[in-house]
């Protein structure tokens, strides 16, 4: 194939087919209130903040900013609802959760468009991954609600009480589903806070929860920034905090609840290693590497952000990787052909740009394909760093953007040591045709999730979570029920 032929083919297809998903029939309000005790109510202090479309810097809506008073109302409503919900039969709890899943499916298109508008992710991903997985998560845990005695044989699980759930901006609806579904199935009541840059799908979910007649106060959704989150963490009548977000905030939460009897699960950052051996199916591996780091703009805690290639195939892999990066389309999140959408916020764009500067100052060799990025909004071209080593900051720290570091290795022991040499332990990927090698690596890599010859595959039935500074506790699967129950 001639140089760039591939790229031109994609660009031509793009120009021809560019057809942004329509925003007609997307029901968005100008202003969103808090969802507390089965009602949408104004915040006590009357404060609102703007949620911004990261692809054009335009305001989408104003959203209520919950202060300590509002959080207190939400916790009181959840406490009042607790006994009734916990004592409802598992079968009836399951019916409500099932109904939530069905309503997400019915309104899937609206959810997908709003997710892409508010968070910047490509519509193809919202439509094919985020929203269906969110619905599946509710379906899956609806099924457990009346089977808890099988999940915990010979022990009687009891719900913990009122759970505070704080979620990030990278998979807004999906993270709400990961948090809410197992907590509801086990009989807890909830105060959930979405991230301040992506509150809209959680508020849409509040509408669904309201429509499906869930008893009032069982789920309360409060919006606001870090301070609102801290008010949830520090509220004395909360029994557990479930958090997904940055390691910095995770550490703050762990300290804040030390000495209290609150329980906690933390799902924090990562610096996933993706390892290609010389016997791998190289084309398939390159496609997997691209998906591992550029999916969702690299705003993925389990992203494969460090690539390790066996020396004998390094030249070939890097050449193929660069060629594939040239074909990636960066642009309008609502365009069905977009591969890399908008960076979620100005703040995150600055963080990524700062890491790119650090990478260069440490001697890394950068590669970015040419892309004409839109003038407005937050954008970052897919980025590769060669010539990096273990001590480099961009190899050690989570960037949470479309930036991949590439290192080479000779032996299996060398790559295991390098892969494990970060403070994180969330994910890893192994590319080889040799099954024994896969089993050997899954034993020795310190990562909660290890994919073989694939990456970034999620399913409601599989547990997900980390080691080391990536946090503790598991979400998904049978294991995902445990953090929401106690035994007496």
Q: Let me know if 380 is a catalytic residue.
A: no
Q: What 8-state DSSP symbol labels residue 340?
A: B
The residue among 195 and 307 lying less far from ligand ADP, judged by its C-beta, is: 195
For ligand ADP, the closer CB: 222 or 449 = 222
Q: How far is the CB of 80 from ligand ADP (least distance, A)?
A: 24
Residues of this chain that bind ligand ADP (CB under 6 A):
166-168, 193, 195-196, 225-226, 229-230, 233, 245-246, 249, 252
Active site residue 267: yes
Catalytically annotated residue among 115, 301, 326, 469: 301
Rounded to whole angstroms, the Cα distance separating 297 from 25 reads: 27
3-state class of 58 per DSSP? strand
Query: Closest distance between ligand ADP and the C-beta of residue 75, in Å?
Result: 14
- The secondary element (H helix, E strand) that includes residue 379 is none
Measured distance CA(473)–CA(464) in Å, rounded? 8
DSSP string, 196-219: TT--HHHHHHHHHHHHTTPPTTSE
The CB-of-467 to ligand ADP minimum distance in angstroms stands at 19
* Contact present, 127 and 155 (Cβ < 8 Å): no
How many Å from the N-terminal Cα to the C-terminal Cα in the chain?
67
CA distance 120 to 127: 13
The residue annotated as part of the active site, out of 267, 326, 446, 469, is 267
Q: Which is nearer to ligand ADP, 20 or 226 (CB)?
A: 226
Distances (CA, A) of 382 to 119, 353, 378: 18, 12, 13
Per the DSSP assignment, residues forming a β-bridge with 320 are: none
By C-alpha distance, which of 171, 172, 194, 208 is closest to 97?
A: 208
Q: How far is the CB of 245 from ligand ADP (least distance, A)?
A: 3
If the CB atoms of residues 166 and 356 are measured against ligand ADP, the closer one turns out to be 166
Pick between residue 351 and residue 421 the one whose CB is nearest to ligand ADP. 351
Q: Distance between CA atoms of 342 and 352, rounded to whole angstroms?
A: 13
Nearest approach, Cβ of residue 352 and ligand ADP (Å): 11
Active site amino acids: 267, 301
């Amino acid at each position: 194939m001639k140089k760039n032929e591939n790229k031109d083919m994609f660009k031509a297809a793009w120009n021809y087919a560019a057809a942004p998903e329509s925003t007609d029939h997307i029901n968005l309000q100008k202003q969103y209130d808090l969802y507390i005790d089965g009602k949408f109510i104004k915040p006590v202090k009357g404060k609102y903040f703007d949620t911004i479309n990261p692809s054009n810097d335009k305001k989408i809506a104003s959203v209520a900013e919950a202060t300590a008073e509002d959080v207190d109302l939400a916790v009181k409503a959840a406490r009042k609802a607790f006994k009734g919900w916990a004592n409802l039969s598992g079968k009836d709890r399951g019916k409500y959760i099932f109904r939530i899943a069905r309503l997400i499916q019915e309104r899937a298109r609206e959810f997908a468009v709003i997710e892409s508008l508010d968070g910047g992710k490509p519509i193809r991903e919202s439509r094919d991954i985020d929203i269906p997985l969110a619905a599946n998560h509710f379906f899956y845990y609806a099924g457990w609600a009346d089977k808890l005695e099988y999940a915990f044989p010979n022990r009687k699980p009891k719900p913990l009480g009122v759970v505070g759930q704080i979620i990030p901006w990278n998979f807004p609806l999906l993270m709400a589903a990961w948090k809410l579904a197992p907590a509801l199935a086990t009989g807890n009541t909830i105060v959930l806070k979405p991230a301040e840059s992506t509150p809209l799908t959680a508020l849409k979910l509040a509408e669904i929860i309201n429509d499906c007649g869930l008893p009032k106060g069982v789920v309360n959704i409060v919006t606001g920034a870090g301070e609102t989150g801290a008010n949830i963490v520090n509220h004395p009548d909360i029994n557990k905090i479930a958090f997904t977000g940055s390691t910095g905030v995770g550490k703050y939460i762990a300290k804040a609840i030390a000495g209290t009897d609150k329980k906690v699960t933390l799902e924090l950052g990562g610096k996933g290693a993706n390892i290609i051996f010389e016997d791998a199916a190289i084309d398939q591996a390159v496609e997997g590497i691209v998906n591992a780091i550029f999916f969702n703009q690299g705003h993925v805690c389990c992203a494969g952000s460090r690539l390790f290639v066996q020396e004998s195939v390094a030249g070939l892999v890097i050449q193929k990787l660069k060629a594939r990066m040239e074909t990636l389309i960066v642009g309008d999140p609502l365009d069905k052909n977009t591969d890399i959408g908008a960076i979620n916020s100005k703040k995150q764009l600055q963080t990524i740009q700062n890491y790119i500067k650090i990478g260069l100052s440490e001697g890394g060799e950068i590669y970015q394909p040419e892309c004409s990025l839109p003038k407005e909004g937050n954008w970052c071209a897919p980025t590769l760093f060669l010539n990096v080593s273990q001590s480099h900051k961009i190899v050690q720290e989570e960037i949470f953007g479309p930036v991949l570091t590439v290192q080479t290795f000779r032996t299996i022991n060398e790559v295991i040591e390098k892969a494990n040499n970060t403070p994180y332990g969330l994910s890893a990927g192994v590319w080889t045709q040799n099954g024994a090698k896969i089993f050997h690596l899954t034993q020795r890599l310190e990562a909660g999730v290890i994919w073989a010859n694939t990456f970034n595959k999620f399913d409601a039935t599989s547990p997900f979570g980390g080691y080391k500074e990536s946090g503790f506790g598991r979400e998904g699967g049978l294991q995902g029920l445990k953090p929401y129950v106690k035994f007496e």
